[in-house]
């Protein structure tokens, strides 16, 4: 276990085969978050990541997964932490100075909040992440000193209350990566925890060039279909499925996504257990607002 009396918050960084990115992130985090225990979960990297972290950052607690667990590697990070709060970032994301003390103060003031989703600025231009723009426009009442309530969050830039993460079971390994936070968010809301967008806690995202865009698109579609079937009422599940499929390039890709989700459902033993009407209603309200926002932001046809 990692423990420092001076900190009630630990920082978990997830990485896989992105040695230079994670080393850059660790250098930044040590400067921007001094005194915060740093935990790196290495998802069975085959490059030089583990050796170089051990050599260059001997004070970092390194957790080596036996295989690439995807998002579920973060569960190992929480298991290694003994602090009340855990901040997460990916190996191409850096927390800005003062972000984590602010997050701790906000969670102290609001004990029913499970997770704060950060404002994420992308690339050298520091453009606002599109997902954050949607979060800022959430119609759900939140807290004046924090931000609106949400039905989801950004897994790679958020701060969790550790007990809530554990109660909800963490990340389901079968989803691997791609929208993996959607299921965890529903589990939190079912347990009466709240999720808030917190624009005053800020992270920078420098998207890695090593991302596999086509594989990520496949996993996003598969996981969206699977989670919709597992947890949403039928009407909402069908709407979510259609929204996921329509974004794919043609019917061949859509049928492939459906077949992929069906195979994965059988392989993982997933079971249908819809969320409560309360949670389904919150989610539907957010989705309606997002669709309206998308229509308003669409350029006029000529």
Residue 255: pLDDT over 70: yes
Using only the alpha carbons of the chain, give its radius of gyration. Answer: 19
The CATH architecture of the domain made up of 9-205 is Alpha-Beta Complex (3.90)
Whether the Cβ atoms of residue 40 and residue 26 lie closer than 8 Å to each other: yes
Q: Assign 125 to helix, strand or coil.
A: coil
Residue 158 Cα to chain centre, angstroms: 7
Q: What is the mean pLDDT of residues 23-34?
A: 95
Q: 47-65, pLDDT tens digit by residue?
A: 999 999 999 999 999 999 9
Confidence bin at 189 (pLDDT 50/70/90): very high
The closest of 291, 124, 288, 137 to 199, measured between CA atoms, is 137
Q: What is the mean pLDDT of residues 1-8?
A: 51
Q: What is the mean pLDDT of residues 204-222?
A: 86
Q: pLDDT: is 298 or 29 the higher one?
A: 29
Q: pLDDT: is 202 or 297 the higher one?
A: 202
User: What percentage of the chain carries pLDDT values higher than 70?
Assistant: 95
Whether the Cβ atoms of residue 174 and residue 122 lie closer than 8 Å to each other: no
pLDDT at 54: 97
Dist CA 42 CA 267 (whole Å): 26
Q: Cα angle at 157 between 163 and 242, to 5 degrees? A: 95
Q: Provide the residue ranges of all domains of the chain, joining segments of one domain with +.
A: 9-205, 213-297
Residue 286: pLDDT over 60: yes
pTM beyond cutoff 0.85: yes
Q: Assign 138 to helix, strand or coil.
A: coil
């Amino acid at each position: 276990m990692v423990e420092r009396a001076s900190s009630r918050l630990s920082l978990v960084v997830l990485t896989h085969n992105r040695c230079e990115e994670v080393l850059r992130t660790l250098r930044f985090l040590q400067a921007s978050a001094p005194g915060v225990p740093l935990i790196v979960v290495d998802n069975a990297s085959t490059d030089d990541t583990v050796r170089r972290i051990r050599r260059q950052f001997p004070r970092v607690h390194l957790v080596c997964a036996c295989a690439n667990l995807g998002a579920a590697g973060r569960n190992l990070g929480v298991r290694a932490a003994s602090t009340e709060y855990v901040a997460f970032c990916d190996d191409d994301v850096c927390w800005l100075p003062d972000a984590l003390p602010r997050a701790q103060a906000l969670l102290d003031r609001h004990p029913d909040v499970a997770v704060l989703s950060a404002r994420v600025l992308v690339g050298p231009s520091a453009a606002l992440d599109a997902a954050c723009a949607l979060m800022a426009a959430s119609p759900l009442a939140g807290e004046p000193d924090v931000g609106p309530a949400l039905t989801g969050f950004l897994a790679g830039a958020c701060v969790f209350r550790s007990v809530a993460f554990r109660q909800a079971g963490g990340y389901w390994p079968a989803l691997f990566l791609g929208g993996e936070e959607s299921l965890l968010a529903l589990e939190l809301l079912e347990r009466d925890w709240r999720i808030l967008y917190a624009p005053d806690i800020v992270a920078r995202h420098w998207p890695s060039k090593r991302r596999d865009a086509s594989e990520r698109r496949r996993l996003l579609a598969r996981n969206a279909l699977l989670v919709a079937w597992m947890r949403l009422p039928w009407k909402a599940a069908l709407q979510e499925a259609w929204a996921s499929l329509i974004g794919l390039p043609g019917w061949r890709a859509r049928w492939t996504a459906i077949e992929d989700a069906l195979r994965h459902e059988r392989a993982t033993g997933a079971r249908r257990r819809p969320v409560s009407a309360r949670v389904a209603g919150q989610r539907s309200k957010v989705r309606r607002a997002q669709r309206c926002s998308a229509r308003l932001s669409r350029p006029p046809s000529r």
